[in-house]
Amino acid sequence: MLQVAFVRSPYPHARIVALDVASALAAPGVVACVTGAELAPHARPLRAESRMRDYYATPQPPLAVDRVRFVGEAIVAVVAESRYLAEDAAELVRVDYEELAPVVNAEAAIADGAPLLHEAAGTNVILRRAFSQGEVTRALADARHVVRDRFRFRRHAGVAMEGRGCLAEHDRGSGLLTVWSATQVPGMVRDLLADLIDHPAHLIRVVAPDVGGGFGLKSVVYPEEIALAAIARRLGRPVKWVSDRREDLLTSTQAWDEDVEAELGLDAEAHVVGLRARVLTERAAASAITSSARSTKRATVNCSLASTTSIR
């Protein structure tokens, strides 16, 4: 079995100008240094597709190719006989970056002239949705009491004692690809692997052992799982990666940063007669999502936002 260490971006937004893995490849025990360009023909980017109109599915390659969009994004997978040797060799990889202006929050992302994280989208807003029921403007104008406030829900990370990890093995004789992953969604991992690395689903087995805490961060599919499966198939040897605590905090999905401006109308008996809210949600390297919600009378407002790969 081989061990993997990832070379990760120290910048939130930058172009990869040059990449030199020669010294790392010459290091003791190193079997391969897989770059994003080398992996791209064998593994397509993750995309959170949706049937909603005007939704842009932000792509996330297993390894960055030309640009990095968050601190901790993986650029090179160093494969070696031990994790120690892989870590040592990873320090020998040379990456030249051209720093680009970062987008630090949702308000900055939607401002005129903001740097674009995904130029193909032409905007940092990947989804706008409006929900409306009744005459909310009239309801608020006629309300006995109207209260307004702004609520900010900051990003936060789930911290399980057991970090994320993945082990992939490909049997060239039978074609069976077996992936052991600290995941809460083995079926989703199997289906996406079949799609992204073009491997028959009936020849993929995903094993989810006891993963300890999850807290939502182990309920999505990650680039590392796609990368390891593709590398194992390419090399014909089992490959393993287990995150350290810093990697886990940098790269595991986090709760959204949401900014909610809301006004609530009530009648003389304190019954809700109208609600209007503007919700701006930051999805980090998956850009920003904006939504507005309106409801009148006693209806419950549910703002449902599209799910994308959490980025880190």
pTM listed for this prediction = 0.87
At 218-248, the pLDDT tens digits run 999 999 999 999 999 999 999 999 999 999 9
What confidence tens digit (pLDDT) does each residue in 126-137 have? 888 888 888 888
For the chain, the domains span: 2-100+158-251, 106-156+254-296
Over its C-alpha atoms, the chain yields an Rg (Å, rounded) of: 23
Do the domains 106-156+254-296 and 2-100+158-251 match in fold?
no
Instruction: State the pairing for strand pair 125-131/288-296.
Output: parallel
Q: What is the CATH number of domain 2-100+158-251?
A: 3.90.1170.50
Owner of token pair 């009491």: 145
Q: What is the pLDDT of residues 31-58, one digit of tens each?
A: 999 999 999 999 999 988 777 788 888 8
Highest CATH level, class, for 106-156+254-296: alpha beta
- H helices of 26-114, where? 36-39, 83-90, 106-110
List b or e across 21-54, with b for residues whose CB sees 16 or more CB atoms inside 10 angstroms.
beebeebeebbbbbbbebbeebbbbbbbeeeeee
List, in order, residues 6 or more apart from 230 with CB less than 8 Å away: 39, 42, 43, 62, 197
What's the confidence (pLDDT) of residue 101? 94
pLDDT of 304 over the 70 cut: no
Q: What's the mean pLDDT when you consider all of the chain?
A: 88
With both helix axes pointing from N to C terminus, report the angle between 186-196 and 223-235 in degrees, rounded to the nearest 10: 60
Predicted local confidence at residue 284, as pLDDT? 64
Please report which confidence band the pLDDT of residue 309 belongs to, taking 50, 70 and 90 as the band edges: very low
Which tens digits make up the pLDDT trace of 184-216? 999 999 999 999 999 999 999 999 998 888 888
- 183 within 8 A of 218, measured Cβ to Cβ: yes
Question: What is the per-residue pLDDT for 104?
Answer: 82
The answer to whether residue 312 scores a pLDDT higher than 70 is: no
The arithmetic mean of pLDDT across residues 25-35, rounded, is 98
First to last CA, the chain: 29
